[in-house]
Structures are given as structure tokens and as C-alpha cells.
A = this chain, B = another copy of it.
Amino acid sequence: MTGRVPTYDYERDGAAIYARSFATIRAEADLSRFTPEQAQIAVRIIHACGRVDVAALIEMSRDLVNRARGALRAGAPVLCDSEMVAHGVTHARLPARNEVICTLRDPRTPTLAATLGTTRSAAALELWGDRLAGAVVAIGNAPTALFHLLEHIDAGGPRPAAIIGMPVGFVGAVESKDALAARSDLSHVIVRGRQGGSAMAAATLNALASERE
């Protein structure tokens, strides 16, 4: 069909689109407080949301990039709080055919949520089981999932290698990310404030998965 009528004038080459996008972000965003490796993560977070001012809201543990990359290279699974995050992961960037897991739609989740008196997003992470040990966790939707993860760890649950904490919204998002940021014992990256979401969380994971920009 295409090509028969006058077309819009726009960039159609995927690689060129990426290159121009990242160049624009690097020209406009203040990335000066990041190391070169951290800046790669920040660039992809900004790319996912279209706002360069988000750079100021990103906070990373000093060991975040190394720990997450090391875990992924060693084959650690990626544990996600939502199907959107899981489906935003670019499998071609994963270094060890890592499993990408979301248990939100597991048939046991609704009962578990009722029993625990919490949301399905929070209850779902109980089903991660031992896979949580050394995993990279990506939370891009539910503040309750992030709070529940911290409680789970404090109760003696397995410890992940790194936590991408980017729930979004108006109830609990700010507070759950503040709680994670206060934990010097957990390697993490967050976006402060109400902004966040599946796209940013998946972009962060994709940036950590490969050094290729």
C-alpha cells in the first residue's frame, strides 16, 4: 500500500532514531552528577518518558550498575511486578538468556492477596520464592509491591542483587521510593516523586542488561 501517496517526512531508520534520541537527551539533560555508566541508565530512563528534567529525580546506589550487571551476567532472573514491565524487557539485550518473571496472573495470586490483606501486585511477589535471592527486581507499577518487598526482606526473605524501584502515582509511590532510597543495605535505583511507571522500569532494566547504548 505505502509509497503510492505523498508521505510524511520523518526518520524511518530505527538505529538512526535511537542515535538521534540519545544525542538529544545528552545535549539537553544535566547528567553531570552521574558516572559514565550511571549516565547510560539515566539516558534510557529519560528516553522512556520524554522528559529530560527527570534526570534530577534519579537516584542510584553507588554499586547499582556493577551489582545488577554482574547478577544478570551470572544468569539472575528478572522479577517484575507487572506484565507491562515484563513485556518491556528487550530479550536480545539480556546477557544470559535470563528468565523474566511476573507472577501477577498466577492463579494463586488473588487468594494470597485476600489472605495477606494486600493488593494482588504485592501478594504476587510471595510467589517469587527462592528466585528472589540474587535477582534483579523491577517494580514499575505498584507502590504496595515495593513496600511489600521491603517487608519481605526484613522478615528474612531472600535478598535481591538490585532493585529498580519505580512505582508511579498518587498513593504510596513517593513514600515507597523514599523508603527504598533510605536503605543503604539494598542496591537500588529510583525516580523520586510521583513519576515512574512500567516504561521507565523496563528501560532501566534494558540499560543495565547491556553496555551497548
Contacts and interface: CB of A to CB of B under 8 A. Distances in A.
Contacts of A185: none
Given A8-B150, A20-B170, A25-B170, 6 more contacts: A1-B155, A3-B155, A12-B118, A12-B122, A47-B169, A197-B197
Contacts of A151: 2, 5, 7-8
Contact of A144 (B10, B48, B86): B10
A71 to B, nearest CB: 22
B176 A10 contact: yes
Q: How large is the interface on A (under 10, 10 to 19, 20 to 34, 35 or more residues)?
A: 35 or more
Contacts of A116: 2
Contact of A51 (B7, B195, B199, B202): B195
Interface of A: 1-5, 7-8, 10-14, 17, 20-21, 24-25, 47-51, 83-84, 86-88, 116-120, 122, 126, 143-144, 147-148, 150-152, 154-157, 168-173, 175-176, 179, 193-199, 202
A198 B199 contact: yes
B12 A144 contact: yes
